[in-house]
Amino acid sequence: MPDDGYRYELFEGHLVKMTPAGYTHDLYDMRVGSRLAVHVGQHGLGQVTTAETGSRSATDPDTERTPDAAFVSQARIDAAGEEQGYWTAAPDLAVEVASPNDTYTAVASKAMDWLDSGSRAVMVVDPRRESVTVSGSRSDIVILTGDEVLEIQDAVPGWTLPLRELFG
């Protein structure tokens, strides 16, 4: 990896430079990640990680991506054993927070890559539009706004997040 102060992801064997996210991005990342971690911890559902923990979702060529937050179920952790490096599969839930420099196409493409790699759901937080897009498959896509409440039962049982709490 280049030692130039940037973070990188590996997509189909090619390095992709990650621009610094910024203050607002990190606020939303923390809001989602902390609420998710509390619920997961209280119910013993598995583990929640943040942007420093990557997942290897494909090999030959390698794809190693880093979601802004992720959830992996306890059953999958138990089956895989202790991981020392990248998690060797897509997380059950991948969370992406759109940055001001991100294009809609790039974020949507990354969300679909997570699903294609085996994530049960992908959550994209868009602070500019105060919306959350939840994808369970390429054809199961829901956009939440306003007073709606996020629920991703297939990926994280029992977890809810009122959007007013996230964006308020």
pLDDT exceeds 90 at position 151: yes
Burial 17-49 (b: 16+ CB within 10 A, else e): eeeebeeebbebbebbbebbbebbeeeebbbbb
Q: Do residues 59 and 76 make contact, with C-beta atoms less than 8 angstroms apart?
A: no
Please state the rounded mean pLDDT for residues 111-119: 87
Band (pLDDT 50/70/90 cuts) for residue 7 is low
Each residue of 27-66: pLDDT tens digit? 999 999 999 999 999 999 999 988 665 555 555 665 566 7
Is 135 a member of any domain? yes
The overall average pLDDT reported for the chain is 83
pLDDT at 56 (0 to 100): 56
pLDDT at 14 (0 to 100): 61
**Going by C-beta distance under 8 Å and a sequence separation of 6 or more, which residues neighbour residue 17?**
6, 7, 8
Q: Do residues 133 and 111 make contact, with C-beta atoms less than 8 angstroms apart?
A: yes
DSSP one-letter string for 97-116: E--TT--HHHHHHHHHHHHH
Neighbours of 123 (CB within 10 A): 28
pLDDT at 110 (0 to 100): 82
pLDDT at 45 (0 to 100): 97
pLDDT at 88 (0 to 100): 66
Is 31 a member of any domain? yes
pLDDT exceeds 70 at position 99: yes
Neighbours of 12 (CB within 10 A): 11
Is 69 a member of any domain? yes
Is 143 a member of any domain? yes
Q: Which two tokens stand for residue 74?
A: 């306890």
More confident residue, 17 or 139: 139
**Omega prior to 162 cis, within 30 of 0:** no
Lowest mean pLDDT segment, chosen from 6-20, 105-119, 144-158 = 6-20
Is 2 a member of any domain? no
pLDDT exceeds 60 at position 9: no
Each residue of 79-97: pLDDT tens digit? 877 666 555 678 899 998 9
Please give the tally of structural domains in the chain.
1
Is 1 a member of any domain? no
Query: In CATH, what number is assigned to the domain containing residue 121?
Result: 3.90.1570.10
- Residue numbers of the domain that contains 154: 7-167
